[in-house]
Structure 1
Amino acid sequence: MPIAKDVQLGKDVKIFHPDLVNLYGCLIGDETKIGTFVEIQAGAKVGARCKISSHSFICEGVTIEDEVFVGHGVMFINDKFPRATTSTGELQGPEDWKVETTRVGRRASIGSNATILCGVIIGEGAVIGAGAVVTHDVAPNMTVAGCPARPMRSESGEEAEAQTLIPGVWPERMSR
């Protein structure tokens, strides 16, 4: 069954083609829309009035706050050091790795085919460009794009300063 019995669905959730999604152990807020071929894993939380577009993957450890847009084919990651096997060559089990959490703030927008690495916070109202690879926290109302994602526009709407285009360099005004 594509939608497991342990899924907590809010009021008026719309799931397009319920037979073509994979939801288990997750929480989905009121009035959220979920497209086809979406997987949302156990322990993930999606807020109210979100739109999760088709072919997206939301893994354990991800919290998406209210009114967030997730474009087509967005991938979240929850493991900093993924491996198939242990040092002894046995297949890894749940005890062999640590889930890293990720949070997406209210009213953020994530463009199609973006990849969100684990352990980051995407601030309220932030915009992630299509195809971006987010490796660091994104300040509220900041627009980022590229691989790795870099600030393009500040919350005031002006172009980001040249220094913000260097990966890992975040001006004080953008720190959390």
Structure 2
Amino acid sequence: MPIASSVKLGSNVKIHHPDLVNLYGCTIGEDTRIGAFVEIQKNVVVGAACKISSHSFLCEGVVIEDGVFIGHSVMFTNDRMPRAVNEDGSPQTEADWVVLPTRVGARASIGSGSVILPGLKIGTGAMIGAGSVVTRDIPDYGVAFGNPARVQKVLQP
């Protein structure tokens, strides 16, 4: 798995196993750490001082602000109605769907094994419990978990 020449890396980025990641067309901020078996697709922006744990997938349309923690095996999505083919049976291409962007606010934490549906905002300082399926926006400093994830409380900043 390569790190493409189209990747913009900030200073002091640490990719722990560069031969075991797939990064292309993305921007990674300074002092960010990336674990093994991570894929970060084109047009993704990862801020400074983030930690992206192993086996995570950040698809096109995801913006991660500064100081965010992404646990192991976190899966972002960008299409609410994915299909392999069009109604006429022809293979779908990028022209056949629209990316729904997702934003993760500064200093938020997303627990291992979580799935983040497309088009959402996870607020500044929010915490998502491990294994959660996030189906709606999470407010700043919200603590949410479950399937679907529900806000259980809001922390004081």
Other-structure match for 1:141: 141
TM-score by length of 2: 0.98
Q: Secondary structure at the match of 1:152?
A: strand
Q: In structure 1, what is the Cα distance between the partners aligned to 2:154 and 2:58?
A: 27
Question: CA RMSD of the aligned region, Å?
Answer: 1.0
Report the alpha carbon displacement of residue 80 of structure 1 after superposing the two structures with TM: 1.1
Q: How does 1:25-36 map to 2 (within 5 A)?
A: 25-36=25-36
Q: How does 1:1-176 map to 2 (within 5 A)?
A: 2-156=2-156
Report the alpha carbon displacement of residue 84 of structure 1 after superposing the two structures with TM: 0.4
Q: Secondary structure at the match of 1:100?
A: coil
Q: In structure 1, what is the Cα distance between the partners aligned to 2:136 and 2:149?
A: 8
Alignment deviations for residues 6-64 of structure 1 (CA, whole Å, 9 cap, x no partner)? 00000000001100000000000000000000000000000000000000000000000
- Which of the pair has the greater relative contact order for Cα pairs under 8 Å at 6+ separation? 2
Q: In structure 2, what is the Cα distance between the partners aligned to 1:126 and 1:9?
A: 26
* 1:31 partner amino acid: D
Q: Which has the larger radius of gyration?
A: 1
Q: In structure 1, what is the Cα distance between the partners aligned to 2:6 and 2:18?
A: 15
Q: In structure 1, what is the Cα distance between the partners aligned to 2:63 and 2:17?
A: 23
Report the alpha carbon displacement of residue 152 of structure 1 after superposing the two structures with TM: 1.4
**Identity in percent:** 60
TM-score by length of 1: 0.88
Q: In structure 1, what is the Cα distance between the partners aligned to 2:77 and 2:156?
A: 30
Report the alpha carbon displacement of residue 155 of structure 1 after superposing the two structures with TM: 2.2
Q: Secondary structure at the match of 1:103?
A: strand
Q: In structure 2, what is the Cα distance between the partners aligned to 1:6 and 1:99?
A: 20
Q: In structure 2, what is the Cα distance between the partners aligned to 1:155 and 1:69?
A: 17
Moved over 3 A (4+): none
